[in-house]
Amino acid sequence: MCGIFGIVKKEEDNLGAILIGAAERLTYRGYDSVGMATISNGKIDLRKDVGKVDSVAEKYNVGEMRGQRGITQLRWATFGAPSQINAQPHLDSDGDMVGAHNGNVVNNIELRQQFIAEGLNVRSENDGESCVHAVERYIKKGYEIIDAMRLAYGDLKGDYAFVLAPANDDKLYALKKGSGLVVGIGEDFTCLSSDLPSLLPLTREILRPQDGEIIILGHNSVELRAITDGTVIERDPEIVTETMDSVQKGGYPHFMLKEIHEQPQVARELHNLLDDSPDIDEVIEKMRNARNLYLVACGTSYHASLAGSVSFAQLAGRATIPVLAPQFMPQYAPTVTHDDVGIFVSQSGETKDVLNALAAAEAKGMTPYGIANVIGSTLTQFTNSCLPLGCGYEISVPATKTFTNQVYNFIYLAYKMAGKDTAELKVVPELMEKTLEMVAPSVADLASTLDDVQDMYTLGYGATLPIALEGALKLKEITYAHCEGMLSTEFKHGPLSAVTENYPIIFVAGPNDIPLIISGINEVTARGARAIVIGPDDERLRANANELIVIPDAPEEISALLAVLPLQLLSYHMSVARGYDPDFPRNLSKTLTVD
């Protein structure tokens, strides 16, 4: 999740300090590299590198940079590994324009090939550079910058926002399509940013551009133009009163809740990334022809792998072996050959247990692929190719959006392997949004009745078993209550003895497994348990359960993905009600780099 900031002042000023401050206020978004550019007397001063804001600023003496206009960008790698050349901002071919972006240009590889064929000077693999060249190609054909941006808009696919600074000008030009962009208005200056935190110490007078709008910033003017026909758009600014902490969290009280609500958008962005990935066909072909196909992961990523295994079987008729990374080594590594394929899954790409399993598998000749959120991480470097998650930075320790995008990734691959049209999956983000809206009141009410509960179960079957396991993990992680997730049909083989009067048991019901789930419900309610069901609106579930949290109707594998959302929300509300910080649970770390 990159972050951009740009500023235009009336006269030349010490912009280095302003850019450093703005960049530091964007660091919560997550980043691997940082860069700054200032423009003074028609000359561009560009300084950038991999590393943290303070270290890059010190290394390149950013504090001394001066100019009338300036841009800074924090990059979270998606296209191109973290490196100085891939760091943003980027120059055009002749060094006469500089720009940076936030978001993902999903046809980046195709565009780079076009630019090279047209003779443009393409220096990096990064899609931020593609935004600059997409405008440059039309300027070189004689178009003015506004019309060039309008034409570039039609070439750039994906969700993004970018800002450009031509050297021989006194304005900044920006465009919004899907990614965040806000404008600040001050005394003798204007500025823009991916979001509010980098603006608020400078001004509280804010203008909010919409998708499909071009923004033109002068030191004392802001002009909005429609991308469709270039006409001027009138919009009044507003005064923002929120605190810095509030705006960093998007108005939510905790990052976990913010990230739960970001899941539909990151799923939408992931779909675009996968559609344009050059690695998908190779991965599918290797998976299809593998002797054995292993899905290797830990914790939440393992639950996603279990869900993926069900999707591969049900959608593509392909058996897979999901396995916890440490257990892979004694149980499977001795039998692995070069005919086997492994998909190694990690949010951070640095999970030590997963990297150990990867090393063991490669030593036996296995073909390794990865799925990770952090491009440039160890996992992305030591697998044949690594599919993205596209979640941006996930600050809260409990994984939410990285889990759902891992599951989405597997469903997408299963569709591909089955020869199904992946465009059918574009409805999933809308269903996720609908789910969050539908379940919010009932989940909050349910959480209020579980304040004193210290022991419970979550049960699922088939596609919903991994969801039950993940829900139990979330409840354990941030409520500190014991919650065990398991196969619903296994409950009678021992755990049933734990049931007492009003004992809470959450069933996750898939549309194809309702009769089996009803059997489990009656098994526990006959002994006094409180049966809570998450599932479709089905009269059979209503008649047998004590409570039903309804999710939208959807096919089996998609319904399971939707069902995790109320479990995430339930764990969040229970944690807050108990006075805990759900973002930073005790004893846990976001990235586990120890054995």
Active site residues: 2, 590
CB atoms within 10 A of CB 285: 11
Q: Which residue has the tokens 């939707």?
A: 562
Handedness of CA 47, 50, 54, 58 (dihedral sign): negative
Retrieve residue 151's tokens. Answer: 């034409």
Report helix, strand or coil for 76. coil
- CA 391, distance to chain mean position in Å, is 1
Helices 127-139 and 108-117, interaxial angle, to 10°? 40
Query: Cα–Cα distance between 150 and 132 in angstroms, integer?
Result: 13
Q: How far is CA 131 from CA 197, 378, 473, in A?
A: 24, 28, 41
> Which string of DSSP letters, residue by residue, matches 300-335?
HHHHHHHHHHHHHHHHH----EEEEHHHHHHHTGGG
Q: Which two tokens stand for residue 102?
A: 């936030």
Under 8 Å CB-to-CB from 303, ≥6 apart: which residues? 403, 466, 467, 469, 470, 473
- Residue 6 β-bridge partners: 71, 192
Q: What is the amino acid identity at position 68?
A: Q
* DSSP string for residues in 424-449: GGGGHHHHHHHHHHHHHHHHHHHHHT
Amino acid at residue number 24: E
Residues in the chain: 595
Query: CA distances (Å), 286 to each of 283, 343, 382, 549, in order?
Result: 5, 11, 17, 40
